[in-house]
Amino acid sequence: MGGGNRASGTPGYEESARYVENQLRAAGYDPVRHNFSYRDGSGGQVETFSILADTAGSAEHSIVVGGHLDSVRSGSGINDNGSGVAAMLEIARWMAEANVEAVNRVRFAFWGGEEDGLEGSEHYVDEMSDAEMSQTALNLNVDMMASPNGVRYVHDGDGSEYDDGAPAGSGAIEHLFLGYFAENGMEAEATPFDGGSDYAAFLEAGIPVGGLFTGDVGIKTEEQEQSYGGKAGSSHDPCYHQHCDSIGNVNHELLKEMAGALAYATIAYAMAAPAG
């Protein structure tokens, strides 16, 4: 799995998309492709798509659970963001197998074009009507869920650490994630909304956002080494955007922990009675 990539517009992306679609169909979903195009950094035209799959439930209070399916051209992107895709697929499959009767519709969104500038999620938000915008209750974003020297990061929805101006309601998402980790005896800490992943378009549109991340080029501190293990003074993912981001670049235990948190939040919001 270390020899190819899933860059948008490539055969590798198409092959990976078909795998995701087949897994979703096998679980009973009806995935659709959300097509779009853009020019990449070299000026070339890229024709690609995101994949959307919905549960049952009220579309008036939709929960968008998103993570990017594409990778950079320089590597296979197993942590970035095959790990997030794997977590989303497993949650979608479990919800179907368990016959979860969602009150609110969950839309699983596998974004294309993230590595070229968040293209897929921006296109999705740009195309929403006013009604669709108002019916989108929140966005949960997952990006890099299994960094080998990772940390359990939760995006700072309440602004208490970084004051990034996240929309109202984002703090509740952060607290839900942090509460899950605390109840399960796991350390977790805030990370900023720095605009570097697919939550950005939702945030800019005023939709509540939250998400999980385990780190990329940031350096693990001594305090983090004590809390999470790993190696202080080294980056969270030394293979970030490199050829070595292969199957051997995955922290399996951390992936299970982060996927558990995402599942908890997804079900909580899917089953929550709409406010008002």
Helix (H/G/I), strand (E/B), else coil: 85: helix
Tell me the two tokens of residue 276.
């008002």
Instruction: Provide the residue type at 163 as one letter.
Output: D
Q: What pLDDT, on the 0 to 100 scale, is given for residue 164?
A: 84
- Answer whether residue 222 shows pLDDT above 60: yes
Let me know: does 220 contact 226? Beta carbons within 8 Å.
no
Give CA–CA dist 154/126, Å, rounded: 26
Q: What pLDDT, on the 0 to 100 scale, is given for residue 121?
A: 98
4 lies in some domain: no
CB atoms within 10 A of CB 5: 22
Mind telling me the catalytic residues?
114
28 lies in some domain: yes
86 lies in some domain: yes
Helix (H/G/I), strand (E/B), else coil: 79: helix
- Answer whether residue 273 shows pLDDT above 90: no
pLDDT tens track for 5-31: 999 999 999 999 999 999 999 999 999
Q: What pLDDT, on the 0 to 100 scale, is given for residue 41?
A: 84
CB atoms within 10 A of CB 130: 7
Residue 16 is part of a domain; what is its CATH number? 3.40.630.10
The percent of residues above 90 in pLDDT, for the chain, comes to 94
pTM of this structure: 0.97
70 lies in some domain: yes
- Answer whether residue 50 shows pLDDT above 60: yes
Q: What is the CA 246 to chain-centroid distance, rounded?
A: 19
Let me know: does 91 contact 20? Beta carbons within 8 Å.
no
Is the backbone of residue 260 left (phi > 0), alpha (psi -120 to 50) or beta? Answer: alpha
Q: What pLDDT, on the 0 to 100 scale, is given for residue 2?
A: 41
Place 1 in a pLDDT band, splitting at 50, 70 and 90: very low
Q: What pLDDT, on the 0 to 100 scale, is given for residue 3?
A: 52
Which of 129, 80, 4, 72 lies closest to 235 in space, CA to CA? Answer: 80
Place 112 in a pLDDT band, splitting at 50, 70 and 90: very high
The percent of residues above 70 in pLDDT, for the chain, comes to 98
- Answer whether residue 193 shows pLDDT above 80: yes
89 lies in some domain: yes
Helix (H/G/I), strand (E/B), else coil: 49: strand
Q: How many domains does the chain have?
A: 1
pLDDT tens track for 117-175: 999 999 999 999 999 999 999 999 999 999 999 999 999 999 999 988 899 999 999 99
Give CA–CA dist 206/216, Å, rounded: 26
Strand intervals (E) in the chain: 32-39, 45-54, 58-68, 104-111, 136-143, 153-155, 189-191, 209-213
Q: What is the dihedral of CA 79, 157, 117, 119, to 10 degrees?
A: 100
181 lies in some domain: yes
Which of 151, 154, 133, 134 lies closest to 142 in space, CA to CA? Answer: 154
- Answer whether residue 39 shows pLDDT above 80: yes
Least confident of 35-44, 105-114, 201-210, 254-263: 35-44
Query: Which structural domain, as residue segments, surrounds residue 191?
Result: 11-271
5 lies in some domain: no
- Answer whether residue 274 shows pLDDT above 70: no
